[in-house]
Amino acid sequence: MPQIGFLAGVFDLFHVGHLDVLGHARQACDRLVVGVLSDEWAVEAWGARPVVPLLERAQILEHLRVVDEVIAVDDIRPQWLLGELGVATVFAAGGTDGVLGVDELTGVPAGLVRVLPAGRVSRSAILRAAIDQRQSRSSVA
């Protein structure tokens, strides 16, 4: 029976940091199911609506070789993960924005959670660099 891994995140403004985390997760299981958190979940949990709509975020993930299945989710409760999906490992990202960390996986038995290394890049860093670049261009003009 294949070991099913589950990784949930918003995956807004998809970048190489997301790809790193997904690659680490896929190496640690036979089948990787990715839960794309809804816009409503993001607003409720983090106070901001994603820039990229849910359907587009899901489509990006569906085209990655490391991802076996993509589902839109609002619910990451352990009984749903373990029962309906048959998940053996729930992955948490260490410091990658837009991917759930250990603190957000409350109620998932500790023995099922595996913390992955952080990705090389974060959405926040990308946005900061873009803003800085734009400001430096306008100050030169």
Distance of CA 79 to the CA centre of its chain: 20
pTM score above 0.85: no
State pLDDT tens for residues 76-123: 665 677 777 888 888 887 655 556 666 666 667 777 778 777 655 555
| pLDDT score of 118 | 64
State pLDDT tens for residues 4-16: 999 988 999 898 8
State how far the Cα of 117 lies from the Cα of 114, in Å rounded to an integer.
10
CATH number listed for the domain at residues 4-140 = 3.40.50.620
Tokens of 26: 């896929």
**Neighbouring C-beta atoms of residue 67, cutoff 10 Å:** 18
**Residue 15 neighbours by CB under 8 Å, 6+ apart:** 119, 121, 122, 123, 126
